[in-house]
Chains A and B, each alone.
Chain A
Amino acid sequence: MKKNVKPWTAYFQPALVYILLILGVIIVVVPLMWAFAASFTPNHKVFEYAYPFSWRALFPVDFTMEAYDNLFERGFGRAVGNSFFLAIATVIIGGAANALAGFAFGRFEFRGKQFLFLTVIMLTFMVPVDLTAIPRYILVNNFGWINTWQGLLVPGLANSLVIFLFRQFFAEIPQELIDAARVDGASWLRVLVSIILPISKPVLVAAGLLMFISQWNSFFWPLLIAPRQEMRVVQVEISLAIGQYGTVWNELLAGSMIAAIVPILLVMPFQRYYVQAITGTGLE
């Protein structure tokens, strides 16, 4: 009978876990809720409930679309369009290039495989792109690509982390599946498109999310390469707004919320894939 009675500490521990988790949630959610609410607030009232603090700061109690209206009137829609275009182009073109490379590394034996993987993939994975931005800038400048779509897009297409993800996934596909198609005389490209791709949804979603979000959130490179107004992406536009319209807080926050909501809406339905994508290399 005594076995059925839990000691009081058994209740204490989950309670403590919940308290700590909720504390963390407050730290995560409160800034986002305030920023979201403030973006729907007239500018002169942005800080009204933040200082001194009241719970009303977290909800748009003086609701207005003024900030969003003004923002788009000033051409913010262009930046949003630019970011979407770049992110989608990166997913499609970069995705194809990275998948092909991952396929070669995952399914073929060829001379120089180990060497190429260690030098090109591992080295480019370990050296952060921002660290080499200046010579890349000089290079792209020599191509005449400053303030062009090529300059924004092409250097970020190949992604060693994404190649890595594809390699891992393709390496685990059963050989019989491929052999059957090869016996039927299908070309490798055909095997890839009609056999491999249909069963590769997890890695396609993971890689697609990773490429889309890292392009959408990228900042340093677009800041250097495409400062001209028509070429600006969302991240650059909001960073410049802080200097130009530093006191129009509700517009600054409205731009930030648009920049934030797109990756959030993409990540939430596909959490498992996204987590696998970003933690994929850490456990190798």
Chain B
Amino acid sequence: MRLNRQLIPYLFLAPALLLLIVFNLVPTIATLVESTFILSLRSGERVFAGFANYNRIFNDPVFWKSLQVTIVFSLLVNPIQIFLALCLSILINQNLPGIGVFRSIYLLPIAVSLNVTAIVWGLMLDQNSGMINGILTQWGIARQPFLHSVDQALWSIIVIASWIGVPLWSLFILAGLQNIPPPVLEAAKIDGANAWQSFTKITLPLLRRVLAFVLVADTVANFLMFAPILLLTNGGPQLSTNLIMYETYRRGFLYGDLGASSAMLSVMLVIVFIIIGVELYVLRGQD
């Protein structure tokens, strides 16, 4: 009976933990293991290959190009999204009549999937007859190629990703803003601080934890950007939107080269662990 009682929490944990271990934890480790094998989906053969997969991808200009595009994309999309999300969260945190309606409307993109967003925006950005070009020509601006141009395609993906990303991350920052006790801000006002001073000296420092979390979560999410590439550009034109996640899919599932694909995913896994490690380091030591 006593033994039974001690077993109870383990029994409650068992179903979910077993599932997480089998389908999440094991595959995380297996990614690293799998990258040392060459496996063909077609023949089903699986041969140990040491670092051959890594050798192949590290000597492959397409991989380096894709890593480069991903880094450029990250350096653009994350600051843009976080800055706009911060602005939006301040706006919807204002205590004004009707603000609830605005908050509800800004939830719409968060409920919609990235696929739907990509399809709708893909047509909005159509180079011949999309609405954005329709508006531009009315303003006397020439039609733009958007997704069909080496210079504009990545920016178009940034717009599509941000349509969901900005309202999503603003929710986290809004929650952080609402955690700031009003007396703190009132005290600053009494001490003669203007709006800008109280924002930079009080609000921002108090948002540090939330902003650090958002920075990491946003970076990781954008690092895995996939659906808009598959649906709209297939990595083109001229590999200008060939983000790393799409490249792993192309290698693994379109070309059946799971070894190279796993090696790339291992590199990505290491990068994600570094990003998370930096987060844990930054968040440690402050309460």
Contact = CB atoms under 8 A, between A and B. Distances in A.
A267 B112 CA distance: 10
A130 B116 contact: no
A275 B122 CA distance: 28
Given A14-B96, A17-B94, A51-B129, A224 B20 contact: no
- Residues of B contacting A: mostly: helix
A61 B13 CA distance: 56
Contacts of A266: 111
Interface string B97-121: 0000011111111111111100111
A128 B216 CA distance: 12
A155 B28 CA distance: 13
Interface string A233-249: 00100110010000001
Given A27-B163, A135-B27, A100 B16 contact: yes
A235 B224 contact: no
Given A24-B91, A32-B108, A131-B268, A239 B31 contact: no
Given A134-B261, A238-B115, A242-B231, A110 B133 contact: no
B157 interface: no
A22 B20 CA distance: 43
A138 interface: yes
A189 B7 CA distance: 13
B262 interface: yes
Interface stretch (A62-70, A72-80, A117-125): A117-125
A130 B226 contact: yes
A213 interface: yes
Interface string A23-60: 01101111110110010000000110011110001000
B242 to A, nearest CB: 17
Q: Which of B94, B104, B130, B134 has the most CB of A within 10 A?
A: B134
A220 B226 contact: yes
A122 B134 CA distance: 47
B8 to A, nearest CB: 6
Nearest to B214: A282
B262 A219 contact: no
B32 to A, nearest CB: 9
Interface residues of A, number: 89
A136 B27 contact: yes
B175 A138 contact: no
Given A34-B131, A134-B27, A158-B23, 20 more contacts: A25-B106, A29-B105, A31-B124, A52-B137, A57-B134, A127-B269, A131-B268, A132-B28, A135-B26, A135-B262, A138-B258, A160-B24, A219-B113, A219-B227, A220-B227, A239-B115, A260-B112, A264-B112, A279-B172, A283-B210
Interface of A: 14, 17-18, 20-21, 24-25, 27-32, 34-35, 38, 46-47, 50-53, 57, 96-98, 100-101, 103-105, 108, 110, 113, 116, 119-121, 123-124, 126-136, 138-139, 154-155, 157-158, 160, 163, 188, 213, 216-217, 219-220, 224, 235, 238-239, 242, 249, 252-253, 256-257, 259-260, 263-264, 266-268, 271, 274-275, 278-279, 282-283
23 contacts: A17-B91, A28-B167, A31-B120, A34-B131, A104-B8, A104-B9, A108-B9, A113-B9, A124-B28, A126-B276, A131-B224, A134-B27, A134-B34, A219-B115, A219-B227, A220-B227, A253-B120, A256-B115, A259-B115, A264-B108, A275-B107, A279-B171, A282-B172
Interface of B: 6, 8-10, 12-13, 15-17, 19-28, 30-31, 33-34, 39, 87-88, 91-92, 94, 96, 102-116, 119-124, 126, 128-131, 133-135, 137-138, 163, 167-168, 171-172, 175-176, 179, 209-210, 213-214, 217, 220-221, 224, 226-227, 230-231, 245, 248, 252-253, 258, 261-262, 265, 268-269, 272, 276
